[in-house]
Structure 1
Amino acid sequence: MKKTLAMLLSLTLCVGLFAGCSSSGSEESAAPSGSPSTETSAEPAGNEETSTLSGTVNLNGSTSVENVILTLGEAFMEANPDVTVNYDPTGSGTGINAALEGTCDLGLASRDLDEEETAQGLTSTVFALDGIAIIVNSENSVSDLTIEQIAGLATGEITNWSEVGGIDAPVVLIGREAGSGTRDGFESITGTEDACVYTQELTSTGAVIQAVAGNPNAFGYASLSAVEGQDGVKAISVNGVAPSEETVLDGSYQVQRNFNFVYMADAELSDAAQAFMEYAVSADAADLVAGAGAVPVA
Structure 2
Amino acid sequence: MKKTMIILVMLAIAISPMFANGSSEAKPVEEYTFGGSSTVAPVAEAAIEQYQKENAGVKLSYETLGSSVGIKQLQEGTLSLAGSSRELKSSELAAGLIPHTIALDALSVAINSSVGIANLTIQQLSAIFSGEITNWKEVGGKDASIVLIVRDESSGTYGSFKEIVLDSQKKTPSKNAIVARENGELAAKIASTTNSIGYIGMAFNHLVTEKGGTILSIDGVNPSEANVKNGTYPIRRELYVVTKGDFVAGSVQKSFFDFLLSKKGQAIVSEVGFVSL
The TM-score, its normalising length taken from structure 1, stands at 0.78
Question: Counterparts of 1:206 and 1:58 in 2: how far apart (Å)?
Answer: 23
Percent of residue pairs bearing the same amino acid type: 31
* Superposition pairs of residues 1-298 of structure 1, within 5 angstroms: 55-192=30-167, 194-229=172-207, 230-265=210-245, 268=248, 271-297=251-277
Letter in 1 for 2:259: Y
Does the CA contact (< 8 Å) of 1:175 and 1:202 recur in 2? yes
**Number of residues of Structure 1 aligned to a counterpart in Structure 2:** 246
Letter in 2 for 1:124: P
- Structure 1 residues 166 and 283, CA, compared in 2 at 3 Å: closer, same or farther? same
Match of 1:7 in 2: none
Letter in 2 for 1:128: A
Runs of 4+, deviation exceeding 3 Å: 266-270
The TM-score, its normalising length taken from structure 2, stands at 0.84
DSSP-derived class of the 2:100 partner: strand
Match of 1:36 in 2: none
Question: Counterparts of 2:213 and 2:58 in 1: how far apart (Å)?
Answer: 38
Question: Counterparts of 2:147 and 2:196 in 1: how far apart (Å)?
Answer: 4
Structure 1, unaligned runs of 5 or more: 1-51
- Cα deviation, residue 54, structure 1: 5.6
Question: Counterparts of 2:263 and 2:231 in 1: how far apart (Å)?
Answer: 20
Question: Counterparts of 1:176 and 1:184 in 2: how far apart (Å)?
Answer: 9
Question: Counterparts of 2:249 and 2:81 in 1: how far apart (Å)?
Answer: 9
Determine which structure has the larger helix proportion and give its number.
2
Question: Counterparts of 1:53 and 1:226 in 2: how far apart (Å)?
Answer: 38
- What is the RMSD of the two structures over their aligned residues, measured on CA atoms? 1.9
Letter in 2 for 1:212: I
Question: Counterparts of 2:213 and 2:44 in 1: how far apart (Å)?
Answer: 24
Structure 2, unaligned runs of 5 or more: 1-26
